Amino acid sequence: MNLIDMAMALGVRQLLLSAVVLLPALWLARRRALSAEQRSWLLTAAMAAALLLPLSAFLPGWSTTLPAPAPPAAAFHPMPGEGATAGEAIFEAGRQPDIYYVELPKTLPTVLAVVWLLGTLWLGMRLLDAMLHARRLRRLAQPASAGLRAVLADIVPAHVRIATCAVDGPMVVGLWRPQILLPRPLLARLDNNVLRDIVRHEVAHLDRRDLWTSTLLRAGTALFWWNPLLHLAQARLALLREMACDARAAMQAREPLDYAGSLLAGIEQLQALREEAPTLALGMFSARSQLAQRIDQLLDAPSYAPRRRSLLMLGLLLLLACAGTAVAVSPRLASPAASTSDTRVNTLLQAASTHDVAQVHALAAAGVDLDARVLGDGTALIQAIRARDPVMGDALRQLGADPDRAALGEGNPLIVASALGLQPIVEQLVQAGADVNRVVTYDETPLINASREGHLVTVQYLLAHGADINLGVEADGWLGRWRTPLNQAGNAAVRDYLLAQGARRERR
């Protein structure tokens, strides 16, 4: 499984698991028998679960050792994930002048992966811009006057700074050093009681750590921006946060009705300011439909304590059940290179690289997969070739090791031997049935590697045994190069020989 396949699998898992978790949570978030505070935290937990549960696929669990491949075909058939992809951006390379151009992705998964990445980058930039804008507001804000601080002294915590600025409405900024910003033109229009109620609302946001949770959830939503359930939950959660802060502020006010009056007074004054300064938005009062819901909640606060407790317990149990079931039944994804944590496989590779034939035979008899791949090390046969040990290589082949088994980033046995110029091992592998035209992503072909390293004898041998002199490869991923044996020739002798044998000076 390559990176794009893993991304697609992760996306599908996220969509399904978020539906399992968020749909019940969204239903509970509309039950007025639960308080806004309870609903907001329930939906926050559900969103966090929807963002984190897909990652359970990477938890340790099932073995990630790949099964041995089917017997190799005589003709060239790239193994899954090893051939050059049609969706790579390429440019011609080698000793010839480079020609740069972009080839558009042709496969649907590749297109979807590109769109996913671009959308995530765009939303990430917007989140970063919002954070930078908050920093600019902090820098431009002026400390509150002594009179204003005295009015709010018993409401605002000592570590929180009060400042005035040309902002759209009252707001909290600063993850590490919180600050409450108040619209400067609004201060002269509101009486102290209304102002205190508005600030109580902002202090409630600080007490609930809403700035932290909203920032983290926005970052997570940017990663899975294409999931409509996340945006629906985020919009609902934004309203529930405001309603929860209203409830907290109303508890500290004289009466809920007085706090509702403060909300209406605040929006009335902001509307007047908006007419005088069209660029001023309504800020926390901007959505009229949401404002109506907030006031309705304040005026109609039912006291269903037993029912609230029952619904809350139901919601928590449902969330835990969904999360636990998802983690339990989720299959684990193998890494792109399918590395294994099996200590016996690691022991096999160690034995292959240290000439321990007896240990290799013992492990094979114990059922260890001789073709298992380990990230950064490749296979046992690749390790034997790197150790320049033809005896070990012959032993592994006799035990059934595949001479064409490739590992991403490590090549395959014949590619490694060709690049090192190990002619006896090259001949052994070809005689054992290794495909001289096998393409491995990021490592090209045996002939290209032998040509690049200037091993003329190996080049001659590979051509004599069926290697395609003009087989080119789109290498190194999206910004890769078009590579052929000729344009990768490492010295004049190899280049002249290839030309004499009919290599074409083709340009991609």
Q: 13 with 56: CB under 8 angstroms?
A: no
pLDDT digits (tens, 9 = 90+) for 374-394: 877 889 999 999 999 999 999
Domain ranges of the chain: 1-64+304-336, 141-302, 343-500
Domain 343-500 has CATH 3.10.450.50: no
The least confident of 195-204, 341-350, 473-482 is: 473-482
pLDDT range class, residue 308, cuts 50, 70, 90: low
How many Cα atoms within 13 Å fall on the side-chain side of residue 120? Answer: 13
Q: What are phi and psi of 240, to 5 degrees?
A: -65, -35
CA distances from 321 to 13, 313, 316, 318, 328 (A): 17, 12, 8, 5, 10
Other Cβ atoms less than 10 A from the Cβ of 444: the count is 28
Question: Pick from 481, 477, 480, 479: which is nearest to 2 by CA?
Answer: 477
pLDDT range class, residue 491, cuts 50, 70, 90: very high
Higher pLDDT, 55 or 324: 55
Question: 435 is written with which tokens?
Answer: 């495909």
**Tokens 């400042």, residue located:** 163
pLDDT range class, residue 472, cuts 50, 70, 90: confident
Q: 246 with 261: CB under 8 angstroms?
A: no
29 burial (CB, 10 Å; 0-12 / 13-18 / 19+) is: buried
Q: What pTM, to 2 d.p., does this model score?
A: 0.56
Residues of the chain with pLDDT > 90, as a percent, come to: 33
Q: What is the pLDDT of residue 144?
A: 85
pLDDT digits (tens, 9 = 90+) for 13-49: 888 888 888 888 888 888 877 888 888 998 999 999 8
